[in-house]
Structure 1
C-alpha cells in the first residue's frame, strides 16, 4: 500500500517536473525569438535613419543682377505759359495737344491800350528829336556869332546845354517807346520752344490777369527719369566708378570715350510692365542726401522719338549690377528664423550641420550670398527631415540642373 502511494507520488513529481521544464523551454524559445526580432528591428531602424539627400557643391559665380527702382518721368523741358499782363483773350491760335514751333503765336490778348502807349511814346520820341535838332541849329548859329564876337561865349554854352537836354529827352522817349513795345509784344503769347500744347483753361473772351496760367508747353523728344537710391547703394556705385576710372588711366582717349559711350545703359519698365525699347544713360545726381530718408536722386536720359512717354508718367528703371565671386543658394534649400536664413551643409563625414547666413539679395529663385566657402556641399531638398549632426547619404546634383532657371554660363 505504501509502495503504491510512494509510486504515485514519485510519478506525479516526475510529471510536474516535466511540465515545468517544458514551459521553461517554451519561454526560452519565445524570448530568443523576440530578442532576435527586436534586434532586427533595431538594425532596420538604424539603417532607415541614414537618409539619401540631394546635395550640390557651391562654386563662386560672377553674375549680373537686375535692380529696379520706381521713377518719375519728366519731359526735358516743361514750361508754364502765363500771361504777363491783364487783358481779354481775343484769339487762340492753337489747340490742345498740338505740336508747335519756337516763336509760333499761341494766344492774342487785347492790345488796344498797349497800341496807344506805343503811339504816345513814338510821338514823344519824335518831339524830342525835333527839339534836339532845333537845339543843334541854334548852337551852330550862336557859334558863328561868338566867333565874330557879336555874342559872348556864355550864350554858346547855354545853347550847348539845351542841346544836351534835348538829347537826354530823346533817350527817355526811346526807353518809353521800348517799354510800350515790350508791353504790346506781351499781348501776343508765343511758344518758348518746340513742344506740345497742354490743356488750355481760358477760352476766347476770358479775362486773364498777370500771372494766370494759359497753358503748358512740353518738349518730350527726350525724357528724364528720376529715381532715388540709398546711401549704401550710392557708395557701392561710386566705388565702382572710381575703380573704372583707375583702370582706364592707362587707356588712350579714344578707348576711354568708347567705353564711356557704352557704359551705363539702363532699361525702363513702363507702368504696364512692358520694357521700353530704348535704353537710357545715367547723367547726373543731386548734390545732397534727402533728410529723413537718407536717399539721393539720380537722373537718366531716355530718347523718346515716338512720343510714347508723356510728362508726368511713371515707371521703373532697371539697372544691372555686376556681382563677383558670390554664391547662389536655392531658396528651397533654406529655412528662415527671425532675421537669419539657414541651410544644411554636409561635411566630410557625411554629417549635416546647420549654417546661418544673410543674403545680399534675391536673384530669381536663389539667394545671393558671400559668407560661404568654395566646395561647400549644400543639401538641396528634404531639409524638413533633417536634424543637426545627422548622418546622410549624399546624392550629388550637377550645376546645370541646379542653375538651369538662370541660364548661367558654367
Structure 2
C-alpha cells in the first residue's frame, strides 16, 4: 500500500511550516521520494519471502526384502539334564569328581560300600557251582536208566522220573546263573557313573551318607550346556496372524534364525535356530512355546537365565524402510510423509506403516520406487510450498552475517 504525500500533510494540518515559498516544493519532493522508497523496499522483502524455497533433506525410497522380526521373552534351558541317582543302597565311601567340572558319560562319580554285594555275588557263584554238580549227577542217572529200561531191568516210570530230575537240575542251573548275574550287576552299581556328558553341579551328599535306590533327592545333577535351548512364548493370536499372512502369500517363510539378547542388553555372538513350536496353547497364558537351539561353546548362557530372542519368522518382499523422523501423524492418527513432487513442490502422501524395525518404519503401501521422501526440515513444510531438496545430512555452507552468497556460474 502506497501512502499519498497529501494524506500525510493533511493529517499534520495543525502544524505550520515556516519555510519560504521557494523551498516548499523541494521539501514535498523529498518526502515523496522517501515514502516511495520505503514502500518499495517492503514490497521487495515480501516478494522475496514468498519466493524463497525451503531447504529440506530427503532420502530416495527403494523396495527391499524385510525380515518380519519379533522379539520375545524367554529362558535358557539345558540341552540335556540328568539326575545322578543310586541304584543300590549303602554308605558312600568316595566322591570321585570335582564339583562344577565337566564329566564324561560312564565316568565314576561315587563309590558305595560294595562289601555286601561282593558277598552276594560270591554266594550266587557257589550256588551255581552246586547246581551244576546236581545237573551232572541227574544227567548220568538219566542216561544209565535209559539203557536199563531197554532191557526191562527198571520200570518205565523210574526212567521218566530220572529224566524229569535231570530237567529240574538244568533249570536250577539257569536260575543260579541269573542270580549270579543279578549279584554282579548290583556289585557293579556300587560305582555310580555319569549318565551323560556335561557339567556336574554340587554334590548333594557327602562321604559317609547312607543312600537308597528310592530316595527323593539325587546325588548330583549333570547338564549339557552346548548347545543350549532358549524357550520363548508367542501369543496364539500373533501366531495365527502370521499363518494367515503366509497362506495369503503376503509374506514368505524364512530360515527362522534368531538373535539372543543377554540380560545386560548386549547381543549374544552366536545365532540360534528355531527347532519347533508346541502344538498346544497354554490355557493360562494363551501362548505357544517356541524352542530355539543356540550354540554355547563358552558356557555364557546358563539354564534358567532370562533372555530375549529376536526371531525372524518370515520375510516381506517389496517393502520400504522409512526413517522414523520422516513419518508424520495427522489429527486423526493417519500416517503420511512429505514427498518432493513435480516442480520441487512439497506433496503430502498417505502411507501404510505396519511396524517399527530398529530405527525404521516398515511401509507396505503409499510409496513408489524413486520417491524423494523428506526427512529433514519437515516442520517448515506446507502443501505446494516450493522446496530446495538436497540429500539428507548434506553439510550446510556457513557464511558471515550480511555476506552475499557466491554466484554459481
Q: TM-score, normalised by structure 2?
A: 0.70
Aligned positions of 1:11-410 closer than 5 A:
26=10, 44=46, 47-48=49-50, 52-54=54-56, 56=58, 58-62=60-64, 69-209=72-212, 210-211=214-215, 212-229=217-234, 230-231=238-239, 232-233=241-242, 267-280=259-272, 282=273, 284-291=275-282, 292-302=285-295, 304=297, 306-318=298-310, 323-336=316-329, 340-345=334-339, 347-348=341-342, 350=345, 352-353=347-348, 355-364=350-359, 366-374=360-368, 375-386=370-381, 390-398=383-391
SS at match of 1:290: coil
Distance 1:369 1:109, change over 3 A: same
Partner Cα separation in structure 2 for residue 208 and residue 138 of structure 1: 49
Cα distance per residue 1:154-186 (max 9 Å; x no partner):
211111111111222222222233333333332
Higher share of residues assigned helix = 1
**Structure 1 residue ranges without an equivalent (≥5):** 1-21, 246-262, 403-410
Distance in 1 between residues matched to 2:79 and 2:392, nearest whole Å? 47
1:12-43: CA deviation from partner (whole Å, max 9, x where unpaired)? xxxxxxxxxx989725999xx89x969x6799
CA contact (8 A) 1:340 1:358 kept: no
The 3 A distance-change label for structure 1 pair 328 and 264 is: closer
Query: In the TM superposition, what is the alpha-carbon distance from 1:202 to its structure 2 partner?
Result: 0.9
Counterpart contact for 1:345–1:355, Cα < 8 Å: no
CA-to-aligned-CA distance 1:296-335 (integer Å, 9 cap, x gap): 413324151x445444445445556755322222222224
Aligned length: 355
- Please tell me whether the aligned partners of residues 89 and 208 of structure 1 are also in contact (alpha carbons under 8 angstroms): yes
Q: CA separation in 2, counterparts of 1:213 and 1:244?
A: 44
Give TM-score scaled by structure 1 length. Answer: 0.70
Distance in 2, matches of 1:174 and 1:151, equals 34
Q: 2:403 matched to which residue of 1?
A: none
